[in-house]
Structure 1
Amino acid sequence: MSRLHAGLPRSLLLASGVLASFAAIDISTAFAQQAGPREQLPPVEIAPRPDQKRKQARPANRDERVARRAPANRAASPATAPKPGDQPAQTPLNTNVVAESASRLGLTVHEIPATVEVISAETMREQGYRTTSEVAQGAVGVTSGDNPAEPAAFSMRGFTNSQINTLYNGIKIGPQNMTSRIMDTANLEAVEFVKGPASVMSGEGASGGAVNVVTKQPHTGPIRNEAFFSYDSLNSFRSYYGSGGSTNVQGLDYRFDISRSSLNGFADDTGTKTLDVSGQLNYRISDSLKVWGAIEYREDRSKAYWGAPLVPIAFSGSHATTGIVSGTYVASNGSNLGPITIDDRTFNTNYNVLDNRNVAQEVWLRGGFELKLAPDLTLKSQAYAYGAERSWFNNEVEAFNTTTNTVDRSRFYVAHSQRLVGNITDLTWDANIAGFDNRFVTTLSSSYLDFVRPGAFKPLGDSVPLVDFDRGFYGPLTIQQQTARIDNEALSVEDRLKLTRTFALVGGLRVEHIGLDRNSTDPAGLVKAGFPFTKDWAPVTGRLGYTWEAVPGLTFFSQYATGADVSANNIFLLLPTQPLDLTTSRTYETGVKHLFWDSRAEWSFAAYDIQRKNVYAAAGGMALNIAGRQESKGVELAAAVRVTDALRLWGNIAYVDARYADYNFAGGSFSGNTPPNVPRIVANAGAAYRFFTPWPVELGVVGRHVGDRYNTDANTVTMNAYTVADVYAFVDIPKSVFAAVEQTRLTFRVRNLTDKRYAIWGDPFYPDQILLGAPRTYEVSAAFKW
C-alpha cells in the first residue's frame, strides 16, 4: 500500500481518510441497528424482475436475510403502494442484487469479496443511457468509446478493449475488439461491471475485468407492459415496447421486447440504426423442475464516424482549438506535425467515403433447465448457439500530410462470419460441514467458435483537402481470407464457507483448455507462409478472498485473483512467428461496503494492485509491439444517500496509476508510459430533487469529469481532461389522467449542457485521428407502464 499511496493525490487520500473516519463514527449507529431488524425504505415502482438470471440470493446461512433488489447509483425514492410483480425496497448503491457474472454462488454484491457494480434498467431510463457505452460512462472509474473498428470498447482499472471480457447473459462471444457492437439498452435489465482479473467466472480475456449485459426475462405474476418514445435535436429517435408475466397455462411465464432506434451523429452523414427483438419462455413443470428457452435477433447499421484528424497548429492558424488535444505527433504517413490541434472546421466533417457501411446482424438461441435433485442439490444447464455476420466498408485512416497540406485516406474492408455453440452446466450443493454452512458450485463449460474473416486493405487510398472536398467512393475491392477456430473447455469450482455468522471465506479455481487453429490465404487463394498453424493453452486461474460483516451493514473484504488471456488480444493478429505465450495477470484488492442510516445511505471503497505480464500493444496500423509488463494501482470510492424523501445525492471517484514496464523495442522504450485511453481520474456526481405535487416533478443534474488520456503508447498526444454535465426534468402523470396507463412519465433532457468540445476516445490502431464527444443536444421522451 505504501507504493500506492505514494502516487496518489493528497486530496484523494484526504477524502479516503475522511470516509474511513465517517465509517468509524457510524459504527455506533450500526450496533444500535443490531438490536432489532433493519427498517426498510418505502416501496418503489420498478419494472418487473425476472426470476432466473437476476433472482434473489439463496442464503448460504440459514439465518441470513433475503436479499433485496435495487437500481444502481441512486437512493430509492418514495412511491405508491407496490403492485404484483414489484420488488421490495432498494439500497442506494444496488449491493443487494445478485450478479451471476461475478459469482455462481448466488451471492449479492455486498457478499462478494470484490468490486462489482450493477446498473439497472431503472437507472438507465432515469439517467438517459441509450447505449451500453453510455451506461459505462456512469459507472465508477469506467470510460468507453465507440470507435467504429471496435465499438463499445471499455477502459477500466488501467485496462482496455480485449483485456476486458464482454459477456451476453454471462456468455463470452469472443474477443471484444472483434465482436462487440453498439447495443441499445431498451431490451436490457442490467449491465454488470466486474472489476479486476475475473477469469474464474468468464474465462480467458478478463485481465481488467468483465462487462456483462443482461436481457429482460420473464417474471411470475400479472402481465405488465411498458413502452417509450424519444426524439432529440439531432433528429434521433428511439422506440420500445416490452411485455411480460404469467400466461393462462399454469407455470408458463413469458417475456417479449422489441426496440428500434436511429441515433444520428453530429458529424455529417453519420449515425447508427438498431433493431433488437427478444423473447423468452419459462415453464415450471413442477416444484423441482423448470425449463426455458430464449431467442434474440439484433442488427445495427451505421454510417461511421472515424474521428477528426490531428493537424499542425501552424497550419490551422486562427482555426486551431485549445483544450481538446495537446502535444506533438508524427503521422502514420511520416509527416512531422509538430504541435498539434483539432481544427474547428473539422468538428462536423465526415472523411468517410460516400458508399461506406458498418453493418452487423446477430442471432441468439438459448435454452436450458433447472432441476432440484435434492433439497440441497441443484443442477442447472444452458445450451446456446450464436451467429453473426459483420461488415466494414470504409475509409478508416485520416492522416494529415504536411507536404501537400491534405488529408491522406486509406480504404479498409473486412467481414466476419461467426458461429458459436456451447454449453454451461452448474451443480450447486448446500451443506453443513463440521457445523459450518457451506455452498459449493462446480461448473463444466465448453464452446466451439468458428470465425471466417474476408478482408482487404488498400494503403494507397487517396488525398483530400482538410475542408470542402468530394468524399468519393471506395473503389475496386480485392479480397483475401483468414479463418480461425477456437475450442474451449473449462472446469471451475467455487466455494463459500461461513466460519461464523459474519465471516466467510470465498474461493474459486478454473482449469481451462484453449485450442486455436488459424489459416490465411492471399487474394489468389494460396496459403500464406507459416499457415495453417495450431496452438494450445491451458491456463489455471483462481481467486481467494473473505468478507467480514463487522457490524450489520458494514462489510470488509479482500481478495487475491488471477487471470489469463491470449497475448495479442486479437486472434487475427497472431502470426506463426510470434511468441504465443499466454498473458497472465493477478490482483490484490481490499475494501469496505457500508449500508447504514436505516438503509438511506451507502458507500463503498476499494484499493487494488494489478500486474499483467507478457503484454502486446497496438503500434498503429495492424502492427503490435511486445510491451512486457503492465502495472495498475488505484482506489475507487462511491456513495449515495437519500437525504430526505425529496432529495437524493450520489457520486463516485476513481484514481488509477497505470504504467508499462519492460516495454523496450528497437530504437526506444515506452517503459513508464501510460496505456492509451486510461485517465488517472474519473469522477461522477449527481443530485435530484422531487416535488410532491399532484403531478410529481423531479429535477436532476449529473456531472462527469475525465482526466487526461493518451491516444498511443508513445504518450506524445494528450486528449485533454474534460468536464460535462447533463440536466433533466420529468413529470409523473397520475393514472387518473390516462385511465388505461398506470404510470406515465414525460422527460426533457439536455446533454452536454455547456456545449463542451472534447476528445472522448482514441483508437491506437488509428492514431492519426481522435473521436470527439457529442455537442449539446436536447431530448424529449415519454414512457408508459400498464
Structure 2
Amino acid sequence: MATSASRLGLTVREVPATVEVISAETIREQGYRTVSDVAQGAVGVTAGDNPAEPSAFSMRGFTNSQINILYNGIKIGPQNMTSRIMDTANLEAVEFLKGPASLMSGEGASGGTVNFVTKQPHTGPVQNETFFSYDSLNSFRSYYGSGGSTNVQGLEYRFDVSRSSLNGFADDTGTKTLDVSSQLNYRVSDNLKLWGAIEYREDRSKAYWGVPLVPVAYSGSHATTGIVSGSYVSNYNGSNLGPVTIDDRTFNTNYNVLDNRNVAQEVWLRGGFELKLAPGLILKSQAYGYGAERTWFNNEVEAFNANSNLVDREHFYVAHSQRLVGNITDLTWDTNIAGFDNRLVTTFAASDLDFVRPGAANFPHDLVSLVDPVRGYYGLLTIQQQTARIDNEALSFEDRLKLTRSFALVGGLRVEHIGLDRNSTNVSGLEKAGFPFSKSWTPTTGRIGYTWEAVPGLTFFSQYATGADVSANNIFLLAPTQPLDLTTSRTYETGVKHLFWDNRAEWSFSAYDILRKNVYAAAGGMQLNIAGRQESKGVELAAAVRVTDAMRLWGNIAYVDARYADYDFAGGSFSGNTPPNVPRIVANAGASYRFFTPWPVELGVVERHVGDRYNTDANTVTLNAYTIADVYAFVDIPKSVFSAVEQTRLTFRVRNITDKRYAIWGDPFYPDQVLLGAPRTYEISAAFKW
C-alpha cells in the first residue's frame, strides 16, 4: 500500500493514479544512498541537490515546490524552504504519487507527491541489521537497526540509527548526516492500538554551489563539449558571454568561502491511536510536533564577468527557526450500499506553522579568478528579519464504491482553509512598507476515477484530479504588492497496470494532461515572475520481468512536453518555452544475473538517460543530455561461515563507470552557474542481518 496515494487502505493497483513505491529492499540492492538517488531511479523523475533547495525533484514537467514532500504523510512546508539531504538507511519506502494530488496532501501538489516512510515496528521475533560502506572519495556510511516484538504482550519496537559522511568531488565539499528514529506500538486489545515515535535528524555540509558558465572564446582549449550549450548574457553582471561552456579546469573547483556552512537540525514527535469502534468502523488519529533550525552561510553566486574575465561572487546568509504542530484524524466506515461494497474515509487535519527567518541585509561581493580562486572569508554580515505564520485546516472525504467485483469508482473531495500572516523588518527592526499583511484562501480540490480489473492481474484506470497551492509557494519571496491568488491545477490521466506470468512479469502505462494556472516562476536575483499557465502532457511506460530464477530485466521511459503559455512581460515573452530542469525524455534500464554457487554471486548493470534541459525560463542555455551507467556485484555469504549471522552480503559498486561529465541541475535563481554530476567512483560495502 501507499498511504500517500489513498487513505482507503488500497493497494497500488487499486488506486486510479500512477503510484510507484520504492522499497527498502530496492534501495539497498540499487545502492541508493540519498533520497535524491532514489528519485533518479523512479519513472520519469530527476533530482538535484542544489544546496539552496536540496532534495529537489522534477516530475511530469513540474519541479521543486510544485511537488509536495511528505514525511510519514505529513507536510512540513514548501519543498524549497524545508527539504534537506537525507540518507535512506532509516527509510522503509519512498512513495511517488504522480500528478495533482491535493486531495491527499493538501496545497502544493501540482506535479505530485513524494512521501518518505520511516521503518516501522513489526510483530514477530527481533531482527537486527547493520551495514558499512566506503568509497573512493573517502565517503563512508554506517547503520544499525533493530525491531520486533518485546517480552511485553502486544508491545513492538523499532530503532534505527545511521551516520554518513558523503564527500563531494569538488574540493573541500561534502555532507555529514545523522538520523536516529524509533517507534513503539502497543496493542492494548484487539480493538485498540497505541503508538509513539521520535526522530532526530542532522546534516552538516560544506556546500558545492556548482561551476560558472564561461565563454567558449575565453576557455579556448579548455572548453568542453556535451555538458552545456547555447549563448548567455549574465543575469548577475549583464556581460555578454556569447556561446558558453564549462571550463575543464573548474571541474573540481570550490568557489565557496572558507568559513561556509550549511546546517540543519530537525526533531519529530508523533503519536496516536487506532480504535475499532464497531465492526467496519475504525477511528485513527495522530498528533505531531516538528521543529527545525537551519542555517546557510555561503558564497552563493558564481558569475563569470566577460568584461573583467573574473568571477563575480556574492555571499548570502539566511536561517530558519521553524515550529509545526498538528493533528490528522481519520474515520473509516465499511458498509454496503444497495448491495455494493463501499468504504468511506472522513479526514480532519489541522496544523499551525511558525516560521522565523533572519537573513542577510547586505550581500558582500568580490571578484576571484576562474582557475584556483582565492576562496577568502564571508566578511561583514548585517541581518534583517522576516516571519510567517500559516494555519491550515482541512476536511476531506474519500470513497470507493465497488459496482462489481472488478469495477470500482474511487473519488474524494477536500475543503481547505489556509491562512498566512507575514511580517518583515529592516536592520533597525522597523517594519517594511506593506508589512505586516495577512491573506487567506479556501480551495476545494478532489479526485474522481475508476479502476477496472478486466481480467485477473490486468487493471485499467482513469482519473480527473485537481490541486491548489499558494502563489509561488515561497512564503518569503512573495511580496505584499504581488497578486496573492491561488495557483490551481488539474489533470486527466488514463492507464493500465498488468501483473502476469505467475507474478514474474509486470508492466504499466499511463498518459496524462496537466494544466496549471496563475503560475509564478523563479528568476535570477531571487525574483518571481508571473508565468500565466503551464501545460504538461506526457506518457510513461515501465516493465520488469524475471526471465529465469537467475535473470531479471527491467526498464522504464517517460516522455513529457511541458510548456508555458500566457507568459508575457515588458520586452518579451516566454510563452512556448519549457520550464527549467524538465527533460523531455528520461529512461532507465537494468539487468542482473545471479549465479547459484555455494556463495551466491549476483552481477548487475543499471543505465540512465536524461534528455536536454534548460536552466532558466529563457531557454537560451541547454544542459545537454547524458547517459550514465552503474555496475555492481555482490556475494551472499552462507550462514555456515558466520553462524551468528543469518545473512551476510558483500557488495562492490562502480558509479558512473564511463566517467561521464554532465550537468545534473540548474537553479533558476542562480542562472550563471550549473551543478555537475559526480564522476566515476568505486564503493565497497558489507551488510549483516541476524
Task: Please classify the TM superposition score into its range, dividing by the shorter chain length.
Answer: over 0.9
2:49 counterpart (146, 150, 154): 146
1:707 counterpart (602, 611, 618): 611
| 3-state secondary structure, aligned to 2:36 | helix
The answer to which structure has the higher strand fraction is 2
2:253 counterpart (345, 349, 359): 349
CA contact (8 A) 1:327 1:340 kept: yes
1:264 aligns with 2:264: no
Counting aligned pairs with the same residue, the percent is: 88
Which residue is 2:144 aligned to?
Answer: 241
CA contact (8 A) 2:255 2:373 kept: no
- Paired residues for 1:774-785 under 5 Å: 774-785=678-689
CA contact (8 A) 2:361 2:426 kept: no
CA contact (8 A) 2:582 2:614 kept: yes
1:324 counterpart (202, 215, 227): 227
Which residue is 1:600 aligned to?
Answer: 504
For residues 661-686 of structure 1, give each alpha carbon's deviation from its aligned partner in whole angstroms, at most 9, with x where no partner exists: 00000000000000000000000000
2:332 counterpart (418, 428, 443): 428
| 3-state secondary structure, aligned to 2:219 | helix
Which residue is 1:279 aligned to?
Answer: 182
- Paired residues for 1:595-674 under 5 Å: 595-674=499-578
1:166 aligns with 2:51: no
Instruction: Tell me the distance in 1 between the aligned counterparts of 2:123 and 2:535.
Output: 47
Using the size of structure 1 for normalisation, the TM-score is: 0.87
CA contact (8 A) 1:412 1:457 kept: no
Which amino acid letter does the alignment assign opposite residue 499 of structure 2?
L
For residues 741-771 of structure 1, give each alpha carbon's deviation from its aligned partner in whole angstroms, at most 9, with x where no partner exists: 0000000000000000000000000001000
2:405 counterpart (491, 497, 501): 501
Shift of 1:222: 0.2
2:475 counterpart (568, 571, 575): 571
1:180 aligns with 2:83: yes
Matched residues, number:
689
- Paired residues for 1:184-333 under 5 Å: 184-331=87-234, 332-333=236-237
Instruction: Tell me the distance in 1 between the aligned counterparts of 2:339 and 2:620.
Output: 61
Which residue is 1:105 aligned to?
Answer: 8
CA contact (8 A) 1:259 1:277 kept: yes
Which amino acid letter does the alignment assign opposite residue 419 of structure 1?
R
1:442 aligns with 2:318: no
For residues 302-336 of structure 1, give each alpha carbon's deviation from its aligned partner in whole angstroms, at most 9, with x where no partner exists: 00000010000000000000000000111121011
Instruction: Tell me the distance in 2 between the aligned counterparts of 1:243 and 1:430.
Output: 35
Shift of 1:468: 1.9
Instruction: Tell me the distance in 1 between the aligned counterparts of 2:514 and 2:57.
Output: 17
CA contact (8 A) 1:410 1:458 kept: no
Instruction: Tell me the distance in 2 between the aligned counterparts of 1:569 and 1:432.
Output: 42
For residues 696-754 of structure 1, give each alpha carbon's deviation from its aligned partner in whole angstroms, at most 9, with x where no partner exists: 00000000000000000000000000000000000000000001000000000000000
Instruction: Tell me the distance in 1 between the aligned counterparts of 2:160 and 2:459.
Output: 38
CA contact (8 A) 2:129 2:145 kept: yes
CA contact (8 A) 1:411 1:457 kept: no
Shift of 1:695: 0.3
Which residue is 1:580 aligned to?
Answer: 484
Which amino acid letter does the alignment assign opposite residue 279 of structure 1?
S
Instruction: Tell me the distance in 2 between the aligned counterparts of 1:586 and 1:148.
Output: 31
Which residue is 1:87 aligned to?
Answer: none
Q: 1:698 to 1:189 in 2, by over 3 A?
A: same
For residues 438-487 of structure 1, give each alpha carbon's deviation from its aligned partner in whole angstroms, at most 9, with x where no partner exists: 00000000000000000005445100000122100000110000000000
Shift of 1:574: 1.3
For residues 201-233 of structure 1, give each alpha carbon's deviation from its aligned partner in whole angstroms, at most 9, with x where no partner exists: 000000000000000010010000000000000
Which amino acid letter does the alignment assign opposite residue 263 of structure 1?
L
Which amino acid letter does the alignment assign opposite residue 745 of structure 1?
R
Mind listing any 5+ residue stretches in structure 1 that lack a counterpart? 1-97
Which residue is 2:647 aligned to?
Answer: 743
Shift of 1:598: 1.0
Instruction: Tell me the distance in 1 between the aligned counterparts of 2:363 and 2:160.
Output: 43
Which amino acid letter does the alignment assign opposite residue 721 of structure 1?
A
| 3-state secondary structure, aligned to 2:497 | strand
Instruction: Tell me the distance in 2 between the aligned counterparts of 1:422 and 1:676.
Output: 34
Which residue is 1:729 aligned to?
Answer: 633
Instruction: Tell me the distance in 2 between the aligned counterparts of 1:272 and 1:703.
Output: 26
Instruction: Tell me the distance in 1 between the aligned counterparts of 2:153 and 2:134.
Output: 41
Mind listing any 5+ residue stretches in structure 2 that lack a counterpart? none
Instruction: Tell me the distance in 2 between the aligned counterparts of 1:457 and 1:244.
Output: 49
Shift of 1:407: 0.1
Instruction: Tell me the distance in 2 between the aligned counterparts of 1:441 and 1:372.
Output: 14
- Paired residues for 1:515-530 under 5 Å: 515-530=419-434
Which amino acid letter does the alignment assign opposite residue 766 of structure 1?
Y
For residues 209-260 of structure 1, give each alpha carbon's deviation from its aligned partner in whole angstroms, at most 9, with x where no partner exists: 0000000010010000000000000000000000000000000000000000
| 3-state secondary structure, aligned to 1:314 | helix
Which residue is 1:126 aligned to?
Answer: 29
| 3-state secondary structure, aligned to 1:568 | helix
CA contact (8 A) 2:605 2:630 kept: yes
Instruction: Tell me the distance in 2 between the aligned counterparts of 1:622 and 1:781.
Output: 41
1:717 counterpart (621, 624, 630): 621
Instruction: Tell me the distance in 1 between the aligned counterparts of 2:229 and 2:526.
Output: 25
- Paired residues for 1:54-133 under 5 Å: 98-133=1-36
CA contact (8 A) 1:484 1:517 kept: yes
Instruction: Tell me the distance in 1 between the aligned counterparts of 2:373 and 2:597.
Output: 55
Instruction: Tell me the distance in 1 between the aligned counterparts of 2:314 and 2:608.
Output: 35
CA contact (8 A) 1:640 1:650 kept: yes
Which residue is 2:393 aligned to?
Answer: 489
Instruction: Tell me the distance in 1 between the aligned counterparts of 2:361 and 2:264.
Output: 20
Instruction: Tell me the distance in 1 between the aligned counterparts of 2:372 and 2:396.
Output: 58
CA contact (8 A) 1:706 1:722 kept: yes
| 3-state secondary structure, aligned to 1:679 | coil
Instruction: Tell me the distance in 2 between the aligned counterparts of 1:219 and 1:188.
Output: 14
Using the size of structure 2 for normalisation, the TM-score is: 1.00
Instruction: Tell me the distance in 2 between the aligned counterparts of 1:497 and 1:469.
Output: 65
Instruction: Tell me the distance in 2 between the aligned counterparts of 1:451 and 1:569.
Output: 14
Instruction: Tell me the distance in 2 between the aligned counterparts of 1:618 and 1:415.
Output: 20
Instruction: Tell me the distance in 1 between the aligned counterparts of 2:12 and 2:584.
Output: 26
Which segments of structure 1 move beyond 3 Å, counting only runs of 4 or more? 457-460
Shift of 1:621: 1.2
